Amino acid sequence: MKIHEKYIKRCIEIAKNGLGSTRPNPMVGCVIVHDDIIIGEGFTSPYGGNHAEVNAITSVKNESLLKHSTLYVTLEPCSHFGKTPPCSDLIIKHNIPNVVIGCMDDNPEVAGKGIEKLKSEGCQVILGVLEAECKSHHKRFFTFHNKKRPYIILKWAESADGFIAPKSRLQQKPVWITNEASRQLVHKWRTEEHAILVGTTTVLEDNPSLTVRGWTGHNPIRIVLDKTRKLSKTHKIFNDESKTMVISSDEINFDSNVARQVCDFLFKNHIQSVIIEGGTTTLQTFINEKLWDEVRLFKGPILFKEGVKAPNFKGTLISEKTLNDDLLQYYKNEL
């Protein structure tokens, strides 16, 4: 068993190369092993491209070894014709006798059919090696298919005394709570998620562009809640650097269950993950409706004494670290 875990771990490691580019596909990792030696590796190509298994199989130099090898993969090989042909067929075609899988694919198109196909062709299948790690690795994909909503990350920065903005927000130049290193990390995070969402007030008061700067990667789709219909095309969020979607009263009813309705809207638009960057009202709405998965909270050293209060939430602290003078805390919603 330990040997299987070692190679599934390697699958997860290489799968992370697909972070931010495979969406809405899951970022799968695959390793092919012959005689305890890795002879091929692959991860999911950017959306629409090859699946991990295809890349791993084609990376093997000596094809004749495949019929004596074991294929390791984080997610059940697919059985359907999507943008690409079924991976299970390819595994069968190459007579790979052993397949070790981290977790099942909950996409209704697959959902066990890939495993059945492999078994029916005489392939030895082991399912569930490092299952929890693989499910967690594919958290965006599983949340989308099982909870019918995107994976939700709430992010904000607060002063040491618990405010996200000083009282005199409008008169002052922007006041940075966090330092350069923390701000760069946020740009990296933006590349990792399918969409970024903010509320109306944030656009009206901060006029953010919500694009990725200081890091290489895709811009997320920008989503803005336009409750008051005060947004104009001159706001930076509408520049042509990335796609923007507006959720106004044409799409949802702002009187109640706003977060739930936003989730439904995002699900219908196939958005697999979203990072919500403010403001307090929007963040608090998602917290109150218990529609969030992770909080990433920066605490800067500055004191505001009064101002816009940071959101109030309960979560389980998973880890924390310091970035120069800032404290970064990761919380999970255990509900």
Alpha-carbon torsion angle 302, 305, 311, 315, nearest 10: 70
Residue 71 within binding range of Zn ion, rule CB under 5 A: no
Residue 272 within binding range of ligand AOF, rule CB under 6 A: no
Nearer to ligand AOF, 92 or 110 (CB): 110
Q: Closest approach of Cβ 122 to Zn ion, in Å?
A: 20
Residue 75 within binding range of Zn ion, rule CB under 5 A: no
> Distance (Å, rounded) from C-alpha 18 to C-alpha 16?
5
Partner whose footprint covers residue 28, from Zn ion, ligand AOF, none (CB < 5 to 8 Å by kind): ligand AOF
Judge whether 68 and 34 are in contact, CB under 8 Å.
Answer: yes
> Distance (Å, rounded) from C-alpha 66 to C-alpha 285?
52
Residue 110 within binding range of ligand AOF, rule CB under 6 A: yes
> Distance (Å, rounded) from C-alpha 81 to C-alpha 78?
8
- The interface region with Zn ion, picked from 85-93, 180-188, 195-203, 286-294 by CB under 5 A, is 85-93
Tokens representing 165? 């903005």
Catalytic residue, from 5, 13, 53, 131: name it. Answer: 53
- The interface region with ligand AOF, picked from 44-52, 150-158, 184-192, 283-291 by CB under 6 A, is 44-52
Residue 51 within binding range of ligand AOF, rule CB under 6 A: yes
Residue 277 within binding range of ligand AOF, rule CB under 6 A: no
Going by C-alpha positions, the residue among 48, 44, 245, 25 that lies closest to residue 140 is 25
Residue 51 within binding range of Zn ion, rule CB under 5 A: yes
Q: Closest approach of Cβ 255 to ligand AOF, in Å?
A: 35
Q: Is 131 a catalytic residue?
A: no
Burial class (CB in 10 A: 0-12, 13-18, 19+), 86: buried
> Distance (Å, rounded) from C-alpha 333 to C-alpha 322?
22
Judge whether 152 and 295 are in contact, CB under 8 Å.
Answer: no
- The interface region with Zn ion, picked from 71-79, 136-144, 193-201, 287-295 by CB under 5 A, is 71-79
> Distance (Å, rounded) from C-alpha 23 to C-alpha 2?
31
Q: Closest approach of Cβ 33 to ligand AOF, in Å?
A: 18
Angle between helices 280-288 and 258-268 (to 10 degrees): 90
Residue from the set 14, 21, 57, 77 that interacts with ligand AOF by CB under 6 A: 77
Residue from the set 7, 11, 20, 53 that interacts with ligand AOF by CB under 6 A: 53
Please tell me the number of Cα atoms within 13 Å of 251 on its side-chain side. Answer: 21
Nearer to ligand AOF, 74 or 182 (CB): 74
Catalytic positions are 53
Would you tell me which residues interact with ligand AOF (CB under 6 A)?
25-26, 28, 44, 51-53, 75, 77-78, 82-84, 87, 105, 107, 110
